[in-house]
């Protein structure tokens, strides 16, 4: 038993010594490849031939046309109105008149919209053109995605490219994308303007109602108090009081002079004294009794004038608000019918003269390499299986 074990160990050591090193394995593999080089080469050539046949027979030339468009350099008049209204009227509850169009959508939203793609499909009958069964929307959208490329460049322009077997069709579809997107943007602007117009109508009507109410209140107050021009009335009252007091002082001076010359009991002195007394009473009446300025006394004039001026200020404020809203309202109505563009074509798409695909040379070269590698892999797989089988038979 011990001898048999020793004999087995010696055989294993002998086999290990006989195993070729790693470099020898590589050499054997290279020899194996060279042995079947013609088979590998023929397979690669056949694969390249099949690829060439398919590429030239079943893969038609494709052409890509591109249109380059830019947004307007200047913002629309509506954008300026929106900004000014938002900043000017936010403190008086009219901020929501306008919304925030200046912070609106990116134009890529329209260019990548399903509505635009559906319009392209319908106008150019793309289901039939690309042999897609009607109703297979997902397949149609996938096909369109491979052909339609929309990009927004860092410089601010938009490039729309379309690929088709017909160069004229490719150019027509690319150009139509810009036209269609402009129409969609115009429709969105009109819908937004309709909302703004309704809000304008509400605000203008409310402003008119407030103005009418203030005018009625102011008219009624002026009628009751006879306050119609506080500054002019105050100036007139001040002049009247000053003039009356000055006359009273002059009468008193005359009275003093006459009394010194003729005595206190002289009729002229008594008369002058009565005149001075009447003038002082008149000055007091102007200051303390209503009637001279209006239905209030001079001492109550500040309160009456303050109330009048407060109402007048409210009226002026609402009149200015209305004067501000009306031009914006008219401009919004003008924008409803104005032909405006959101994108202007810088470089129109033209039918390309050079194909963009397929890259037949790359397809054939790839098929050549792939065909050779596949056969080589199969040969190495067969060799590996055979080697494993020999080892298993040897050990058994």
183 vs 360: which has the higher pLDDT: 183
Q: Higher model confidence: residue 248 or residue 189?
A: 189
Measured torsion, CA atoms of residues 275, 281, 282, 285, in degrees rounded to the nearest 10? -170
Do 366 and 52 touch, CB atoms closer than 8 A?
A: no
For residue 348, which of 166, 173, 120 has the smallest C-alpha distance? Answer: 173
Compute the average pLDDT of residues 346-355.
90
Q: What is the average pLDDT across 244-254? A: 73
Chain centroid to Cα 5, Å, comes to 88
d(CA 237, CA 356): 93
Q: What is the CA radius of gyration of the chain?
A: 50
By the 8 A CB rule, do 377 and 43 touch? no
Mean pLDDT over each residue of the chain, to the nearest integer:
76
Tell me the CA distances in angstroms from 123 to 180, 184, 366, one per residue in order: 11, 15, 38
pLDDT band at 122 (very low <50, low <70, confident <90, very high): very high
- pLDDT(354) > 50: yes
Q: What pTM did the predictor assign? A: 0.54
168: pLDDT strictly greater than 90 = yes
Helix, strand and coil in the chain, % to nearest 5: 75, 5, 20
Distance CA 361, CA 359 (A): 6
CA distance 366 to 371: 8
- Mean of pLDDT values over 215-227: 76
Backbone angles phi, psi at 163, to 5 degrees: -115, 130
Contact (CB, 8 A) for 352 and 170: yes
Q: Compute how many other C-beta atoms are within 10 angstroms of the C-beta atom of residue 249.
A: 13
Q: Which of 113-127, 252-266, 297-311, 330-344 has the lowest mean pLDDT?
A: 297-311
Cα–Cα distance list, 174 to 159, 181, 272, 378 (Å): 9, 11, 105, 48
* Chain segment 223-245, per-residue pLDDT in tens: 767 666 665 665 666 666 667 77
Quick check: 345 and 175 in contact, CB under 8 A? yes
pLDDT at residue number 146: 92
Helices (H) and strands (E) in the chain, counts: 13, 4
**Greater model confidence, 381 or 278:** 381
Q: Given 3.40.50, 3.30.1890, 3.10.450, 3.30.160, which CATH number is that of 63-218+340-347? A: 3.30.1890
Encode pLDDT of 43-60 as tens digits: 888 988 888 888 777 778
- Mean pLDDT lowest among 255-259, 314-318, 349-353, 386-390: 255-259
What distances in angstroms separate CA 215 from CA 73, 228, 301, one per listed residue?
46, 12, 21
- Model confidence at 388: pLDDT above 50: yes
The answer to whether the beta carbons of residues 308 and 157 sit under 8 Å apart is no
In this model, does residue 108 exceed pLDDT 50? Answer: yes
> 298 Cβ partners below 8 Å, 6+ apart?
237, 241, 286, 287, 288, 292
């Amino acid at each position: 038993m011990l001898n048999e074990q020793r004999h087995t160990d010696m055989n294993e050591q002998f086999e290990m010594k006989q195993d070729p090193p790693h470099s020898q394995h590589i050499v054997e593999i290279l020899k194996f490849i060279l042995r079947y080089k013609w088979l590998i080469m023929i397979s690669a050539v056949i694969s390249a031939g099949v690829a060439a046949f398919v590429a030239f027979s079943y893969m038609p030339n494709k052409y890509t046309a591109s249109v380059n468009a830019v947004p307007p350099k200047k913002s629309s008049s509506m954008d300026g109105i929106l900004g000014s209204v938002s900043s000017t009227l936010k403190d008086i509850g009219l901020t929501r008149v306008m919304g925030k169009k200046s912070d609106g959508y990116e134009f890529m939203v329209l260019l990548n919209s399903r509505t635009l793609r559906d319009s392209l499909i319908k106008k150019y009958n793309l289901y039939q053109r690309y042999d897609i069964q009607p109703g297979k929307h997902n397949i149609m959208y996938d096909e369109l995605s491979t052909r339609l490329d929309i990009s927004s460049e860092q410089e601010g322009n938009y490039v729309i490219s379309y690929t088709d077997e017909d160069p004229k069709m490719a150019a027509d579809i690319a150009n139509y994308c810009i036209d269609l997107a402009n129409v969609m943007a115009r429709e969105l602007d009109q819908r937004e303007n309709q909302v703004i117009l309704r809000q304008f109508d509400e605000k203008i009507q409310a402003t008119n109602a407030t103005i009418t109410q203030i005018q009625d209140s102011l008219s009624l107050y002026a009628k009751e108090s006879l306050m119609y021009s506080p500054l002019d009335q105050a100036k007139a009252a001040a002049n009247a009081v000053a003039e009356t007091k000055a006359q009273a002082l002059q009468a008193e001076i005359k009275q003093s002079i006459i009394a010194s010359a003729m005595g206190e009991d002289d009729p002229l002195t008594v008369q002058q004294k009565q005149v001075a007394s009447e003038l002082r009473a008149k000055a007091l009446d102007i200051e303390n009794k209503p009637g001279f300025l209006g239905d209030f006394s001079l001492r109550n004039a500040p309160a009456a004038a303050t109330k009048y001026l407060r109402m007048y200020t409210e009226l002026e404020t609402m009149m200015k608000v209305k004067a501000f809203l009306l031009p914006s309202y008219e401009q919004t109505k003008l924008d409803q019918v104005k032909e405006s563009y959101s994108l202007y074509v810088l470089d129109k798409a033209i039918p390309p003269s050079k194909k963009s695909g397929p890259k037949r040379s790359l397809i054939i070269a790839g098929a050549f390499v792939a065909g050779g590698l596949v056969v080589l892999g199969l040969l190495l797989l067969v060799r590996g299986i055979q080697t494993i089988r020999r080892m298993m038979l040897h050990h058994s």
